Structure 1
Amino acid sequence: MPVGAVATYVVALTARTSLKIGVYAALGVATADGLYALIATLGGSVIAPLIEPITTPLKWISALVLIALAVRSAATALNQHRRLTSSSPTKPPPTPTPTRAYFGLLGMTMLNPTTVIYFTALVLGARSTPSLLHQTVFVIAAFIASTSWQLLLAGGGALLGRALTSPHGRLSTALASSLLICALATQLLLTH
């Protein structure tokens, strides 16, 4: 499974917050993948030409959202690090609710044109028109595969968060993931 900017964000979000938040975020990504699999099976050959003209604006929007999230994550990490290392107590940054994590990652993944193009290419690559049973199995399998992968990423983020409990460890991890997210968002803009 490819690890892109969204997957990196799931890991970083879970490491920064909790496994529960990460699970909801992972389910948001998996829901988007399931929806795109459904859309691709129902009208893949019709959707591909319609999406082609807006692929570039969607890439820009997706990249800008990812970069904004990376900047916000880095700023939150820096503020939290300052709070933890200063002598004066300050209010910790707000943790997203599970619902907000779910819908945030659902929206972020739905903005990613690569996902729908990927699922459409899978459907178009089939030699024959799949039956309703095959389409249903494909959608369910795509959702289950995405769910298991995203939950594995969230679990990895939870382990990472537990292993790096020092203020410097959390700051380093958050800044590294923010840089990686920015690099992957930039790569998204540079690919055709």
Structure 2
Amino acid sequence: MPGNTITDLPHRRFCFTGVRGVGKSTVINRIRSSVPDIKFVSGSDLLYEMMGEDYKHFEYLPEAEKFALRIKLNDLLQTIQKDAAKDLVVDSHLTVFNLKTHVIDTIFTDKDLEFYTDIILLDSYPEKIYDHRIRDVSKKRIVDKEIIAKELDFERRIASEIPEKYGIRCHVIQMGEDAALNLKKILTIR
């Protein structure tokens, strides 16, 4: 059965997840310099480095190609952590609204289940996500409040199912003033 239940790994691996526009990058940037023993990476940035300008069309690739890229990304994350010799926090997603099919896809793979020791869900409310997505015109994002609510619910459901089924620890942080402090607490407590 997949699932990383080993508790004495030399370094932990956190999937810092939440729907697009919840504020993961903002929260990470608030604590990045205060936790030098943690390596932070963006899954999207790494995919962009791997794909170049083709990254803009990632959502429209056949599922087999997307899956192969995610596996390649996972291998790269293992190398990054080995080289850094630190705990690793990956700004990522468990689920993503597929712009091609208009279905919310689970993108967390079996390889992810074997890799991550913890999931940290940054949660919020549809109105906050909507406000952020409307202000950030640099990225194409869904701004339908009903779909945003479905995205949030689905991400929460998957985040709660993974620990139950696979033994990966799950932490939930509510986006707000204390989000960065709460993330730092999770990352620094052994």
Asked if TM exceeds 0.5, the reply is no
The alignment's TM-score, normalised by the length of structure 2, stands at 0.29
Identify, as 1 or 2, the structure richer in helix. 1
Larger Rg: 1
The structure showing larger relative contact order (alpha-carbon pairs under 8 Å, at least 6 residues apart) is 1
